[in-house]
Amino acid sequence: MNDVVIDAQRISKLYRLGPGRRHNTLRDLLAEKVSSRVRSRKALSPDEVAPDNSTKRPAGGEQLWALRDVSFQVRHGEVVGLIGSNGAGKSTLLKILSRIVEPTSGHARIRGKLGSLLEVGTGFDPELTGRENVYLNGAILGMKRHEIRRRFDEIVEFSEVERFIDVPVKRYSSGMHMRLAFAVAAHLEPDILAVDEVLAVGDASFQRKCLGKMGNVAQTGRTVLFVSHNMLAMEDLCDRVIWLKNGRIVEDGPASTVVSRYLQESLPPRTERVWDEGQAQPATGEVRLRRACVRPVDGSSGDPITVRTPFVVEVEYRSLRPNLHLSPALALYNEQGTIVFVSEPPFDPEGRGRQDPAGLYRHSCRVPGDLLNDGTYQLGLYVDKDGRTILKQDEALTFNVRDAVETRHGRHGKWVGAVRPRLEWSTELVEVARL
């Protein structure tokens, strides 16, 4: 049995940039439609397509390829994520699959009903009430009235807009709009659910609720396409991730592998920074940051760090005034932006109220091996005075922690978890079984 529900073959989408033309008569408009269709077909001739996704300047103005020769298949029950920087083509691709936008070339075959939530209010009539829009969207998805009625109370309860369900949606806030739109898309049982980054409109609790609902939808065997910049949600929800860059597919594979490579490219390593006197240094009237570095304990910046390697974070700053007591702090973030830990020198009761001379100070923080998971990390550096942060340098350093072959024990794939400590274990036989 063929279980492919989405079959995208060589999809390309061309946009023309610049101001549109004004048409004084219907005849002018129809003539322009015909000529633009001819120009589009010519622009898509395989011999004329630029292989590097570069823009061209034909007679009609500058062109931009939002998608170029994108091909992939999605099988029934898969949860597939689409990632990439802004402008990579993710939303355009979902709009083409949802039949909102027509591709310039290529085609996509969809088997089953596709429910999409691409922009706040997509598919809603602002003059109709929330109740009427629920029924309208259900009808668009091909559902019978009694099927919609059966799920109606559940939709309204999930959306948390019970008080306003009979109010025209043009009076809804963007958050209310999104809540009801997501509830409709998720509860009217489409075979395929396509969700763009609109979840960012809601508050944190509702975002968690939506992510949980998408997980439940996936567990029922339905297919989910998910676009988000939340890499933690991507790895948690998706079996597979497609990485788009400049309208082309860079990589298509297991979620953890593709997300990790995408983040490594997005966050190139920067293991040492020196702010010279002539440069714009992070500074206040009391302190000036001079240098920051991360390196193995027995090495230099740029040397590899594995999950087994103890490493040192060094921070140098210049105290600009005498009789100050300054203290550094650092925060370590993983690829998903989660704080792994925050550290500062141990509290010294005898140092309370201490006044230090002005000068150049160097602080070192040693991080043990067998603590961090493999991946890409960012360090934020801070200087405190009397318990108050007076200087911040977010994303000061970026470094990679590699896996170590000796820790794998024949396993493959990325280990889960923000940290990967090597803990002490003991085993004892409590009782011998009587056979």
Domain coverage including residue 401? 272-407
Six-digit token string for 45: 């001739």
Q: Are residues 262 and 277 in the same domain?
A: no
Q: Are residues 261 and 289 in the same domain?
A: no
> What's the pLDDT at 230?
76
Q: Are residues 95 and 231 in the same domain?
A: yes
CA atoms lying within 13 Å on the CB side of residue 207? 13
Q: Are residues 384 and 240 in the same domain?
A: no
> What's the pLDDT at 160?
87
Task: Give, in order, the Cα–Cα distances in Å from 273 to each of 143, 235, 311, 395.
Answer: 60, 31, 16, 11
| Residues 6+ positions from 178 with CB-CB distance below 8 Å | 117, 120, 198, 199, 201, 202
Q: Are residues 115 and 204 in the same domain?
A: yes
Q: What is the CATH number of the domain that holds 200?
A: 3.40.50.300
> What's the pLDDT at 186?
77
| Residue 232 is assigned to a structural domain of this protein | yes
Q: Are residues 172 and 320 in the same domain?
A: no
Residues 3-31: b if buried by 16+ CB within 10 A, e if exposed: eebbebeebbbbeeeeeeeeeeeeeeeee
179 and 161 Cβ atoms separated by less than 8 Å? yes
Six-digit token string for 362: 């160097």
* 63-75 β-sheet, strand order: 63-75, 4-16, 105-110
d(CA 81, CA 268): 23
| Residue 416 is assigned to a structural domain of this protein | no
364 and 381 Cβ atoms separated by less than 8 Å? no
Q: What is the CATH number of the domain that holds 276?
A: 2.70.50.60
Q: What amino acid is encoded at 134 in this protein?
A: V
Mean pLDDT in each 10-residue stretch from start to end of the chain (435 residues)? 87 80 54 55 43 43 88 93 91 90 93 78 81 86 83 90 92 84 79 77 71 79 86 81 95 88 81 82 90 94 90 95 92 89 85 82 95 91 91 92 67 69 90 88
Q: What is the pTM of this model?
A: 0.62
| Residue 278 is assigned to a structural domain of this protein | yes
Q: Are residues 13 and 160 in the same domain?
A: yes
| Residue 37 is assigned to a structural domain of this protein | no
> What's the pLDDT at 315?
96
| Residue 41 is assigned to a structural domain of this protein | no
